[in-house]
Chains A and B, each alone.
Chain A
Amino acid sequence: MNNKYESNKWQEVINWVQTRSLFMLHYCTGCGAIELPPTMTSRYDMSRFGIGPAATPRQADILLITGYLSTKTLRRVIYTYEQMQNPKFVMGFGSCTINGGMYWDSYNTIKQLDKYIPVDLYIAGCMPRPEAILEGFLKLKEKIETGSADGYKRYNKEYEKYKKNQEKVLGEVKRRQ
């Protein structure tokens, strides 16, 4: 019992530390990319909250999907996501990632991002303003601190389910593992 208490405490400390330094990789093929420069720079300045942009997937903690994904870009997103190291968190941004948004009947864009990669948090809106993005980041930090942002664990556990969904829309997905 003592042991369990200790490991929980350690986990809390680790979670707390994690929220203090988050690096974000933004996947910008959708129109949401235009909201990120003001969020990152001095107007809204997300580094106030300990979040900065990352250069490569391997150094990033957060994968921000800004807007619609065509099946062709979904394949690249899956490659990107699988390159990231644990713990990793995915944020869906804008209504396109939630239910297709204005591309709801397009033949070539996916309708629900969480079928293909595990999403920890959605930001609704078309487009969400930088305030909403910052609110989303704060919410994500809360979730990380309480340990409920467990998308990467779900991805490992339910890998077969995600793989099946991915292959339904993409055909074969080559992985380097």
Chain B
Amino acid sequence: MRSENELIKLLNRDLNLLSFKKLRKQNISIRFENEELVSGLNYLKSQNYIHLATISCVDWIEDNQFELIYQLFSYEDKISLSVKTRINRKTSKFVTIKNLWGVAKYYERDIHDFFGIKFTGNDNMDELILENWNEIPPMRKDFKTRQYVDKKYDWRQYHGQE
């Protein structure tokens, strides 16, 4: 069982990190360049970070970037790792990691639903959660929720309401 500091030392030795941050006890966030990410995840998997809890995404619309966050966990170190990378918002394309973790193909479909990011190598990009969606993906920051709701649904009219 490694401590957080031992792990950071090890990662700095073997990987090409952009930055790292100790968020709190047993919780570390590290950042990679796009090209380094898959090999980085591969290395982490070999270091007992075998559990991919989820893949999450953040829309940084002002920086014109999407941030992908891979949540890893090690049952031996008992440390959660947030592995982050930022991709171009305009092209919104990234590579799949379904060869490392089979479950990733569903997380990637989920992100494709809500952010419209294409994962090359993952051929099944059908809708997973949404149904018959033909607007821009709903979790993007430039999706105007209120406008869409006004257009699609009718508000209930109450007595005495103008």
Please list the residues of chain A having a beta carbon within 8 angstroms of any beta carbon in chain B.
71-72, 75, 98-100, 105-108, 110-112, 115, 168-171
Within 8 Å CB of A169, what residues of B? 152-153
The 3 lowest CB-CB distance pairs between A and B, nearest first, are: A99-B156, A72-B131, A111-B153
**Cβ-defined contact, B132 with A107, below 8 A:** no
Contacting residue for A111 out of B129, B146, B155, CB 8 A: B155
Contacting residue for A71 out of B131, B143, B155, B156, CB 8 A: B131
A110 to chain B, nearest CB (A): 7
**Cβ-defined contact, B153 with A110, below 8 A:** yes
Q: A72-B131, A106-B149, A107-B149 known; A98 and B138 CB under 8 Å?
A: no
**Interchain Cβ contacts under 8 Å between A and B, 6 examples:** A72-B131, A105-B145, A105-B149, A106-B149, A107-B149, A111-B155
Q: A72-B129, A72-B130, A107-B152 are known; give 11 further A-B pairs, CB within 8 A.
A: A75-B131, A99-B155, A105-B146, A105-B149, A107-B148, A108-B130, A108-B138, A111-B154, A111-B156, A112-B153, A168-B152
Within 8 Å CB of B153, what residues of A? 100, 110-112, 169
**Cβ-defined contact, B155 with A107, below 8 A:** no
Within 8 Å CB of A170, what residues of B? 131-132
Contact with A along B95-108 (1 / 0, CB 8 A): 00000000000000
Q: In the complex, what distance in Å separates the CA atom of A10 from the CA atom of B147?
A: 52
**Cβ-defined contact, A115 with B154, below 8 A:** yes
A45 to chain B, nearest CB (A): 34
A10 to chain B, nearest CB (A): 38
Within 8 Å CB of B149, what residues of A? 105-107
Q: In the complex, what distance in Å separates the CA atom of A169 from the CA atom of B153?
A: 8
Q: In the complex, what distance in Å separates the CA atom of A112 from the CA atom of B149?
A: 13
- Taking CB atoms and an 8 Å cut-off, the chain B residues in 19-52 that contact chain A are none
Within 8 Å CB of B138, what residues of A? 107-108
- Taking CB atoms and an 8 Å cut-off, the chain B residues in 37-88 that contact chain A are none
Interface centre among B129, B143, B145, B153 (most CB of A within 10 A): B153
Q: A71-B131, A75-B131, A171-B132 known; A107 and B154 CB under 8 Å?
A: no
Q: Please, which residue of chain A has its CB at the minimum distance from the CB of B138?
A: A107
Within 8 Å CB of B129, what residues of A? 72
**Cβ-defined contact, A112 with B146, below 8 A:** no
Q: Please, which residue of chain B has its CB at the minimum distance from the CB of A75?
A: B131
Contact with A along B117-153 (1 / 0, CB 8 A): 0000000000001111000001000010110110011
